[in-house]
A and B are shown apart, each in its own frame.
Chain A
Amino acid sequence: MPVPSRQSNTARIVIAKTALDGHWRGPQLVAHALGEAGYEVELIGMRQADEIIATASERQADLIGLHIGGHVAVAEQVIEAIRAALPEVPIFVGGVVPPWAKKRLEAMGVEVYPPGSQMRDIINAAARLTGFDPVG
């Protein structure tokens, strides 16, 4: 797949699913909303840590979104792997994340958006984490 040339007036977000669970409603909605807000968004589906890292490096992602769908222990491993390989790229997480798991992930320094999160908060987070606000 050819790498699109990087536009200077936006930030690029790669969104992946860490679990082998094909439910796509959440990540699709978030990707759509971030796209509408002016970000370049790439959805890459169910991927292992090394695949997410490879895509994020190749695309020079400014932010990585992980849909974790309740699978917390595996998400923690993926976050640690990304942190080690791409320490400068911020990560945010969405999906079915019970309160206890939300606290654990937040303690790792990632932002967590469980079901019922408002899209404007997710878009604001993208602006804050990438340092780029297409809306201005």
Chain B
Amino acid sequence: MTADEREKTWTSASGIPLQPFYRAADVPAEHRADADGAPGEGAFLRGAYPTGYRTKPWRIFQLSGFGKPEDENERIKMLLAHGETGFIMEHDRNTADHMYDADHPEVVARARDVGLTGAVMQSVNDIAICLDGIPLEATYGHAGGGVVQHAPFALAGYWTVARRRGLDLSRLPGTGQSDFNLTYLGCPPKQQIPTGPGLRFNIDIVEFCAEHLPRWVPVSIAAYNAADSGINAYQELGALFANAIEYLDEVQRRGKMEVAQAARGVGGVSFRLSMDLFEEACKMRAARKMWSTLLRERYGINDPKVANLRIHCVTAGSRMTYQQPLNNIVRGTLMGLAGILGGIQSLGVSGYDEALSIPSEHAHQMSVRIQQILQNETNLTAVADPLGGSHYAESLTAELIERGRAFQEQILEQGGYLACLDSGWLQARAAENQVAEFEAQDKGEQIVVGVNAFAEDISPHEIDGFMGVDDAYDIAIERVKGVRANRDGARASAAMQALAAGCRGDDNVMPLMMEAMDAEVTLGEVGDVFRDAFGDWQSPIAM
């Protein structure tokens, strides 16, 4: 060993000091019983289900969409034909995130952006086109609505399409998102309702699903969007559970449903997977134990059907490099592997062209194939929690739990998760990590292959990225004008007025949203109602 190697400090990506090797004594005594337990029981450290992936492998679940609703429909069908086992709708960011129709001045000024990041869906009719020919009763769907204010529109739109097909909503499988980390941390829209009304909407959705859509995951806390903004692994755990506490405390305060029932719905969460293989795998193990502990200690919930956290993961888009993009196929495989070793329930692998564009058809196919190779050629699905009992994995899991809880407590001490978004405290934690990481890369302390090291490329394989389509805006304008002209105007006006009154009162907005969607009220019209009722969030960051 050279002097340099002795002096170098080895840490995990989140900064946890690492020993050269681990012994049994390095695992904290209080963690050992869980480490020797079985999957599907106790603290669920070792997995959500007793048989692991033998009964059911993880769901292949890719984000997809662009252009017109027809384009997105075609891509979703292509992915399902290639073996995707659920689908995620992506709504055009320009319109959906901000809740603007295509003829809003902010969108008109950027007309040629429209459709680049998802299909433009301005009314239930557009959502119907996007879902055409997809058997909703038999397919696990993500309705979109990652941004909190957009979720009531995206969800009510999806459910209205199902209802118009004569489907029984109580049997409809799928998930929402309504994600505070995306909305107020990772990707704040130009106009967005404040966090308080956002929380109210999310609990409205939780309560509505409990009554009408018991198989639907109403909201999903997506820590991905905190992590890809800079929040590290244990902060991701702490922030996610502080977010869950905000939801469950609000359910308790409103007193309209059992916290346990809400927890079952909220306990489908998502994390980011990044490149520190063992830290990321152990993060999933830590999350399950933290969830069951939180439910027991804070809410007195011991029901194993509630306490088994189900986890969706997406591999880190920010780890996909622009340079030598085919290297990203390896990165996607390794990040996915980390999640599988951690026992997750569903997975999206970023496209290898992630740093260039939204995924091309080939990049999408590759993301599905990576997962199929992992499911069918590696024997990874045979044994649950293969890292369980490793001195290193158990020690790292215990350390992530301890640090994650400390971060969660820091958030609670400052008034909770929403307060930390409003004050900018969480955004500041993300920003300081971004800077530290960038400096480490700039100094060459953190190697990114093909970028700041090993940049030679003997066979440059330049890819174009996905080119998109160029008629999304024109069609969107045509359709939004058409829907306003052809619908029952009196019914649409009445639905908007009822929604406006509902927003100002305390009643659940979702029945009003269902009527508004069925009455073909548009995205921008719903956005105007929300803006009038709630005003704009004042972002603590310059974006």
Q: Residues of A at under 8 Å CB distance from B?
A: 17-25, 27-29, 31-33, 43-46, 48-49, 70-71, 73-74, 77, 96, 98-100, 114-116, 118-120
Q: Complex: how many Å from CA A56 to CA B233? A: 39
User: Given A24-B188, A100-B464, 11 more contacts at CB 8 Å?
Assistant: A20-B93, A20-B110, A20-B189, A22-B190, A28-B434, A45-B190, A70-B117, A71-B110, A74-B110, A96-B356, A98-B464
Binary A-proximity of B93-131 (CB < 8 A = 1, otherwise 0) = 110011010000011011111001100000000000000
Q: Residues of B at under 8 Å CB distance from A?
A: 93-94, 97-98, 100, 106-107, 109-113, 116-117, 186-190, 228-230, 318, 321-323, 355-358, 431, 434-435, 438, 442, 448, 451-452, 462-465, 541-543
Given contacts A99-B462, A115-B321, contact A20 B94 (CB under 8 A): yes
B113/A43 in contact, CB under 8 A = no
- Find chain A residues with CB under 8 A from B187 CB: 21-24
> A19, A44, A99: which contacts B113 (Cβ < 8 A)?
A19
B355/A20 in contact, CB under 8 A = no
Name the residue on A nearest B186 (C-beta): A23
- Find chain B residues with CB under 8 A from A46 CB: 190, 543
Q: Complex: how many Å from CA A20 to CA B112? A: 12
Q: Complex: how many Å from CA A96 to CA B434? A: 17
- Find chain A residues with CB under 8 A from B321 CB: 115-116
> A48, A116, A119, A120: which contacts B109 (Cβ < 8 A)?
A48
- Find chain A residues with CB under 8 A from B355 CB: 96, 114-116
Most chain A CB within a 10 A radius of its CB, from B94, B109, B117, B228? B109
Given contacts A19-B94, A23-B187, contact A29 B435 (CB under 8 A): yes
- Find chain A residues with CB under 8 A from B93 CB: 20-21
B464/A74 in contact, CB under 8 A = no
> B113, B442, B542: which contacts A73 (Cβ < 8 A)?
B113
B356/A19 in contact, CB under 8 A = no
A20/B541 in contact, CB under 8 A = no
CB distance from A132 to the nearest CB of B (A): 21
Name the residue on B nearest A67 (C-beta): B543
B190/A119 in contact, CB under 8 A = no
B431/A22 in contact, CB under 8 A = no
Given contacts A20-B93, A22-B543, contact A32 B110 (CB under 8 A): no
Q: Complex: how many Å from CA A33 to CA B541? A: 17
A25/B434 in contact, CB under 8 A = yes
A119/B542 in contact, CB under 8 A = no
- Find chain B residues with CB under 8 A from A21 CB: 93-94, 97, 117, 187
CB distance from B497 to the nearest CB of A (A): 28
Q: Complex: how many Å from CA A99 to CA B355? A: 11
CB distance from B324 to the nearest CB of A (A): 9
B97/A116 in contact, CB under 8 A = no
Given contacts A20-B190, A29-B435, A98-B464, contact A118 B357 (CB under 8 A): no
A-B contact pairs, 8 of them (CB 8 A): A23-B186, A25-B318, A29-B434, A44-B542, A70-B357, A96-B356, A99-B356, A116-B322
